A and B are shown apart, each in its own frame.
Chain A
């Protein structure tokens, strides 16, 4: 990495002693720097280097495979972050140089180069389908080839990693439950998603041996022999762990014997991929079948990429305005308001205090892409230009005329409007409506993945994201139409399927926060459901965050659970439909309904069977707990744990609405107390479907 000092033009060569000293902090980089921004980055670099050293030490010291994998993952993340900060630093240095150069040559100040506002970008619910060959399932009874995978997400300077997931041939998808939020993204952002994987067999000494060889080795070498081999093969920098050329890493990569992650696939997402629902993107796969870290990827990735530009969430401009009365008799009457420009609206409040008090604005003027704003000619009386805001509502054009007290104010408002329009043009589809971004909950429970049986034991119907989101979008729209048209209680017959049905439940309690599950909990609506009688299906409606209860049979849908994102914003009128009480409707299971029920709603297992007959209060917004499962139900749990780890353990009929107080957010499985958990774990692993046992 070259670090140009503009006065001395000194370059610091990679790997040189000076560079090493800088890395060690003996020389502060500020010797060469002159801005605080750089030292900021320098601090970050130092921090990451410390983290990396820690991860190396941990890797060298730990004996358990899981710890080693986690430590290797942190190592990879730290290395990537260091690289990113380095390049950022370099860019900044070069920009400074360029700036000083251009400043000398021209005297132009910053011309009206508008910069679009920044925004938050969130990516969540990553799901990468796998495509195993059938020979893997049926013929290969031997060792389970396991890989540990995680994703690195990089946007600009911010790099985040997801949790690590162990993948073997019983999984059909790799699912990452995390929501990653990048806070300062410009509209031209590039979000790079990289999938790293590492073979998770016993011996790491062999580095990246081909898979067949690795499995032979692992079955022929015992642990002690492997350790000896590893020690013998640890000469230092020439271990297979060393970094290839081209990386601006300054220190030689610490050679730690241990798992090393390799890049398996990557893709880049940008503004055009942002949408308020799930989409599928293509992955570029590196590596081939011979690599030890290989996984048969289907080639695509599903995720939800949402963006909230700041112009939609923050107040861009506020101040006093005078609005001309439309229908006032006196053409000179102006109403003084306190106006706030935010999102696609200009909110006008009578008093400034109303803004904080959350009082409804006096009126709202829409400011969106179709709005036209112009400054009109000077008002002869006040000598200040008026601003005319024109919108098309329906067929007619409605114009509001506003003015301010002084010319500067008018200028400022015009400037704000232009900036707002520019932002909206840059952020394109993100400015049509505010996309919801869920903040990741601070607690990160460790997911427990019991060993899965072979795939053909599972009896789950997997619905693909795209299909179901399309279907549900269509349904949602129809529902909305119906709501607008219908009165209380006259919903169509197919609605009953949603209301009664027993959808598959996906145990993501986190998504419960979006449900306002109104439940028309009238017992006699359950005549046909095989559910045990004390279970009231909770049913909200599909139109917004509606949740469907889980089924009584032990099937769970495997769709990743944040489908509620695909639903439109909650409308207040939807409660109407839920209160249609005492009508027994025949249960129609049209294809639509079936597909939607398969999508399942996020609630934790059976924990949602609240027999509340009025709309549950907003306490439902707290993540719903997942009920603890009785041991008996656990066996059926395993069968339905299909591959995508987003399924919950099932909602078999044992859940009596008992809630265990824990609210596990990411974990799709029930989480009983530790003692029971180990017992349960043991029982799960002793399942004869997994491992043959004989009684003698």
Chain B
């Protein structure tokens, strides 16, 4: 999932819609993110390519909104409500996720198993 400058980035993504949960005066999503173009990509335990500076999900609160929506630990977030997350700083990512006026965030996330699922599905339906 690394990119080549000048080439489009392609990935198989899953759409995850998370309803924010109101806790007091906060709206929480129930997960934690790590990564960003200003962070050290080598420290990312989830990324396959250690130069990938994308935003990854590092923790999911059990039974929280993200968990219920199907977000998994280790997912890489590609878009949030249409905003790109592949080339943002950590703080920019956090801000896009925690807009107070938005009750719901629609994420596009990718993970290794998605690619494999697609590959398998392609194989199991050979052309007749």
Q: Which A residues form the contact surface with B (CB < 8 A)?
A: 141-144, 202, 218-225, 451, 681-682, 685-686, 690-696
Which B24-44 residues have C-beta < 8 A from chain A?
A: 28-29, 31-36, 38-44
**Are B40 and A142 closer than 8 Å at their CB atoms?**
yes
Chain A minimum-CB-distance residue to B39: A692
Task: Tell me whether A685 and B94 are in contact in the complex, defined as CB-CB below 8 angstroms, given that A693-B32, A696-B29 are known contacts.
Answer: no
The 10 A-B residue pairs with the shortest CB-CB distance, nearest first, are: A222-B2, A691-B43, A685-B45, A693-B34, A696-B97, A694-B94, A695-B32, A696-B29, A690-B43, A693-B32
**Closest CB in chain B relative to A136 CB, distance in Å:** 13
Chain A minimum-CB-distance residue to B28: A696
**Are A451 and B43 closer than 8 Å at their CB atoms?**
yes
Chain B minimum-CB-distance residue to A685: B45
**Closest CB in chain A relative to B29 CB, distance in Å:** 5
Contacts of B5 in A (CB 8 A): 220
Q: Which B residues form the contact surface with A (CB < 8 A)?
A: 2-5, 28-29, 31-36, 38-45, 49-51, 58-59, 90, 93-94, 97-98
Task: Tell me whether A682 and B51 are in contact in the complex, defined as CB-CB below 8 angstroms, given that A692-B39, A696-B98 are known contacts.
Answer: no
Beyond A695-B32, A696-B33, 13 additional contacts (C-beta under 8 Å) are A141-B38, A142-B40, A143-B40, A219-B51, A220-B5, A222-B49, A685-B43, A686-B58, A690-B43, A693-B34, A694-B33, A694-B93, A696-B97
Contacts of A691 in B (CB 8 A): 34-35, 39-40, 43-44
User: Which of A219, A222, A224, A682 interacts with B45 by CB under 8 Å?
Assistant: A682
* Bound: A682/B90 CA distance, A: 20
20 residue pairs from A and B, CB less than 8 Å apart: A142-B40, A143-B51, A218-B51, A219-B51, A221-B4, A222-B4, A222-B49, A224-B2, A224-B4, A451-B43, A681-B45, A685-B43, A685-B45, A686-B59, A691-B39, A692-B34, A693-B32, A694-B34, A694-B93, A696-B28
Chain B minimum-CB-distance residue to A686: B58
**Closest CB in chain A relative to B10 CB, distance in Å:** 12
Chain B minimum-CB-distance residue to A140: B40
* Bound: A692/B38 CA distance, A: 10
Task: Tell me whether A141 and B40 are in contact in the complex, defined as CB-CB below 8 angstroms, given that A222-B4, A693-B58 are known contacts.
Answer: yes
Chain A minimum-CB-distance residue to B18: A696
* Bound: A686/B32 CA distance, A: 11
Task: Tell me whether A225 and B4 are in contact in the complex, defined as CB-CB below 8 angstroms, given that A691-B34, A694-B90 are known contacts.
Answer: yes
Chain B minimum-CB-distance residue to A220: B5
Task: Tell me whether A693 and B33 are in contact in the complex, defined as CB-CB below 8 angstroms, given that A143-B41, A220-B5, A686-B45 are known contacts.
Answer: yes
**Closest CB in chain A relative to B67 CB, distance in Å:** 13
* Bound: A144/B39 CA distance, A: 11
Contacts of A218 in B (CB 8 A): 51
**Are A696 and B40 closer than 8 Å at their CB atoms?**
no
**Closest CB in chain A relative to B95 CB, distance in Å:** 10
* Bound: A681/B46 CA distance, A: 12
**Are B94 and A144 closer than 8 Å at their CB atoms?**
no
